[in-house]
Amino acid sequence: MDMTILNIAIPEMSAELEPTAAQQLWIVDVYSLVLAGLLVSFAAIADRWGRKRMLMLGYAIFGAASLLVLLADSAEAVIAIRALLGVGGAMIMPMTLSLIRIIFTDARERATALSVWAAVSGLGAAIGPLLGGVLLEHFSWHAAFIVNVPLMLLAIVAGLFLLPESRVPATGRWDAFAALLSLAGMTLLVWAIKTFGKHASLAVPEAWAAFLAGAALLAWFTVRCLRRPDPLLDLRLFRDRTFGAGIVAALGSTFAMIAALLLLAQWMQLVDGASPVETGLRLFPIAIAGALASLAAPPLARVIGARAVLSGGLGLAGIGMLVMGLQPGVLGAVTVTVTLVLIGAGTGSLAIASAMIMHGTPEEKAGNAGALEETSYELGALLGVAVLGSIAALMYRAEFEAGRALLALDPAIRAQAEDSLGAAVAIAEGNGLPQLASEAGVAFTHSMQTTGIAGGAIMLAVAVLVFLMTPKGTDISASGH
C-alpha cells in the first residue's frame, strides 16, 4: 500500500515543498534503493537475533518514520523519511515470509497461508491509489504517510501476542564483508536500472558505470557465499529447480503488474480524465482478481498441478497485456478493465511461486529464501518500469514529435511537452491548446498499447521458461524438507 499511495501524493507534495527535479526523483527512489540493499543483511541478522524481534523492530521503525512526516517541511526531510521507511521495510518483508515457513509446518496449510499473504499484498497495492485519492481530497499530502501509523501499531500488538520467536541455532560467523558487498552491489544495480528507465535510453555513461560496478560486486558476493561453509546468503538453494522456477515467476509477475499499474494510472487520469479517486476505483479489478486467484491457486494446483497453475497464471497476465495492445480503434474502458482482470488473475500465481520457494527450503534457510523472494519482487518491479516504461516513453516521443501541435510551441516548452504526458497536458491547459493535449493523449495511448504487446510477449516467454524449469509433478501440498 505504501509503495503505491505515494504516486497519488507526489503532485500535492511537490506543489508545497517545491523540490528540484533531482530531489523529486530521490523521494521516489530512495525507498527501493535502501530496501533492496538491506534485505539480505537483515534476513541474516534475524536468523541470529530472532525473526520476531526483527519484524517488531521493522514495524516500529516504519511507524515512527511515517509519524515523523508531521515535522517534514523540506524535500530533504521527506527523502530522509523515505530512506528510514526503506530500513523498516527491509526488516519486515523477508520476515513475514520466513515466519510463515516456520509457523505452518504442514505443506498444505503453508500453501494456503502463502496464498492469503499474496492476496493481501495485491489488495494493499491496489488500495494505495484509492485510499490516497480519498485522503488527498480531505487532508494534506502528509496523510499518505500517517495512514501507516495505526496499521503498524496494530501489527505490533498482534505480533507480540500471536507470533512465536524463531532463530537459527547454529548460524556460523557473521560475514560483515559479504553484507557490505550485498549492500553496495544491490544499491548500485537498482540505481543503474532506474537511471536507464528514466532516460529511456541505454546511452547513459554513469548508469553503465554503476551497473558494471554493482554487477562486479554482486559477482564477488556470489563467489564468496558459494565458497563459505556458513554463507551470509545460501545461494545453493538455486540448485533446487522448484525454488529457481518460483523466483523467476515472482520476478515475472511483478514485472507485468507494476508497469501496467503505472501506465494505466497515467492513462486514466491524463487521457481519460478520471480523478485520483476514480482512478483508484477503476484500478481495483486488478486487486480483486488477484486476491481471488491467489486464494484459488493452491486448491487448483492440487487438481491440475503447480506447474500448470504457475505458468498458466503468467501466461494469463501476458494475454491481458496483449488484449490492451492489440485492440483496434480507440482504446476503451471495457478493454482496460479486461486487461486489469487478466493481469490480476495472472499475478494470483504468486501464491504458487511463494509456496514453491518455501516448499523445498529447510526451516533454518527460511530467512534466505524470504530475502531472495523479496529481492526478486523488487527487481521485477524495477525492470518492468525501466524496460516497459522506456519503450512507452520512446514510442510516445516519436509519435508526438510527428504531430502538428508541437510546431507552434517555443523550443524550450516543446522539449518539456515531449518529455512526458503530464507536462504536455499541463502546458496545453495553461496555454489553451486543446489540440496539443489531444495529440499527446493519442500518442501516449498508442505508446501504451505498443508497450502492452512487448510486455505481453515477454510475459508469455517467462511463462514458457517457468513451465520448463518446474519439475513435472511438483506438489506444493506434499511434505517438504
Task: Answer whether residue 480 shows pLDDT above 60.
Answer: no
Q: What does pLDDT average to over the chain?
A: 85
Cα 55 to Cα 34, 58, 158: the distances in Å are 17, 5, 12
Q: What share of the chain is helix, strand, coil (3-state, %, to 5)?
A: 85, 0, 15
The count of other CB atoms within 10 Å of the CB of residue 382 is 26
Whether 290 contacts 128, CB under 8 Å: no
Which residue type is seen at 370?
G
Least confident piece of the model among 8-22, 114-128, 435-449: 8-22
| Digit-coded pLDDT (tens) for 148-207 | 999 999 999 999 999 998 887 766 777 889 889 988 998 898 888 888 877 777 788 999
The domain ranges of the chain are 2-166+234-399+442-469
* Confidence band for 322, pLDDT divided at 50, 70 and 90: very high
Task: Answer whether residue 265 shows pLDDT above 90.
Answer: no
| Digit-coded pLDDT (tens) for 391-415 | 888 888 888 877 777 766 777 777 7
Buried-state track 441-452, b at ≥16 Cβ within 10 A, e below 16? bbbbbbbbbbbb
In total, the chain counts a number of residues equal to 481
Residues sharing a CB contact under 8 Å with residue 42, sequence separation 6 or more, in sequence order: 54, 58, 90, 91, 94, 371
pLDDT at 80: 93
| Predicted structure pTM score | 0.83
pLDDT at 481: 45
Between these two residues, 148 and 255, which has the higher pLDDT value? 148
pLDDT at 196: 82
Closest CA to 261 of 28, 451, 441, 66: 451
Q: What is the DSSP letter of 271?
A: I
What's 2-166+234-399+442-469's CATH class? mainly alpha
How far is 153 from 141, CA to CA, in rounded Å?
21
